[in-house]
Amino acid sequence: MTSATPTRARLALTVVTAGALLTACSGDESGAQPPAPSFAVPSPAGSGSAPAAPSTAPTGTPDLGAPETVATDLNVPWGLAFLPDGSALVAQRDSGVIVQVTPGGGAPREAYRVAGVDAGGEGGLLGVALARDYPKTRWVYAYYTGDDDNRIVRFKLGSDAKPEVIFDGLDKAGIHNGGRIAFGPDGMLYVGTGDAGEGGASQDPGDTNGKILRLTPNGEPAPGNPTDGSPVWSLGHRNVQGLAWDADGTMYGVEFGQNRVDEVNVIKPGKNYGWPEVEGKAGDSRYADPLVTWSTDEASPSGAAVSGDTLYVAALRGERLWTVPLGGGAPKAEFSGRYGRLRTVAVAPDGALWLTTSNTDGRGDEKSGDDRILRFPAR
């Protein structure tokens, strides 16, 4: 959809008080303790998304030993996308500035400034992604909170042209703005949205909040979606902030719970993931049960990435990196408390794992040099 024709069934801005910020998001609430963390083996490969493209990822796995510090003194780094030369674009939430960082390449340099970003609470400049045919089209995509809504734009680095709005009308709020965007193996743009503090939106198929959306690169509902003409790929989500695919095309989404558990889900078209009727496993055929759950103290999962047969999940409140073996076995926590809040994890084209901290977001214990980007090379 274009900025002139939003797909939202309704646009109701939600005003959230500071008190709600502390109680309604798993990053900071102190709800009752849930059952022990659980894990389930995923369904057969390829069942979670559209047909996969052949994998070209390196076969080496990241070495989670001593990392290289790629960048320091960043302002709430959120989205991250790799350029063909091995450098990366990093979206800074509160400033609206995208910087380019290069391993061993000195200080970050400003690559683009997104105009109209309204940073507040959990909103601001969030996800960033490169077109699958970037070397040809040069399109860069960004998800951000504006004056009236959350929206997706695209632009070209170095251009003075105004960014093109390709999708808008997503409710904004102080919490649950979603924000992760990623191109899937089918070439379509997937978008994780939040419920903007209104749980009922997640169960409304005509509402684009609390969903995973699947769009064409131009922002239209993608062909092959569960409902023709609708951008909705899956529903019943609270606040999706991580999207990833394995080599077989199975799609994974991570999201914040409320008082009990955070979730990793295998995402399948048309499935309902339960929120707000269900938090965690329901054992109800109307809802898809999560693959992994953690207590909110252990996670608040944000970024997600797959390397080989391992799903990596960055945890904010949990201040750790979770490794989830996709072939079966229990998840394992890495770096507990070592680097503080972890926002985004990504696998670079050379197989290295990049990890961003989020200690300057108003909820972390900021240390000298924060926020930073860490790089763990492939073995």
Can you identify the CATH homologous superfamily of domain 74-349?
TolB, C-terminal domain (2.120.10.30)
Return the structure tokens found at 116: 């109209």
Q: How confident is the model at residue 59 (pLDDT cuts 50, 70, 90)?
A: low
Q: What percent of the chain has pLDDT over 90?
A: 82
Least confident stretch, 21-30, 182-191, 207-216, 306-315: 21-30
Cα–Cα separations (whole angstroms), residue 44 to 246, 251, 290, 327: 12, 11, 15, 10
Q: Return d(Cα 146, Cα 130) in angstroms, integer.
A: 21
- Residue 349 CA to residue 92 CA, distance in Å, equals 22
Q: How many helices (H) and strands (E) does the chain have?
A: 2, 25
pLDDT of residue 272: 98
Output the average pLDDT for the chain: 88
Q: What is the pLDDT of residue 56?
A: 46
Q: pLDDT confidence of 40, banded at 50, 70, 90?
A: low
Report the DSSP pairing between strands 292-295 and 301-307.
unpaired
Query: What is the reported pLDDT for 60?
Result: 75
Cα 250 to Cα 44, 65, 245, 258, 313: the distances in Å are 8, 28, 5, 26, 16
SS (HEC) of 229-269: CCCEEEECCCEEEEEEECCCCCEEEEECCCCCEEEEEEECC
Model confidence, pTM = 0.88
Q: pLDDT-based confidence at 259, cuts 50/70/90?
A: confident
Q: What is the CA radius of gyration of the chain?
A: 19
pLDDT of residue 51: 44
Residue 206: is its pLDDT beyond 70? yes
When mean pLDDT is compared across 18-32, 92-106, 283-297, the lowest value belongs to 18-32
pLDDT of residue 58: 54
Q: What is the mean pLDDT of residues 44-64?
A: 56
* Tokens read off for 57: 């990822």
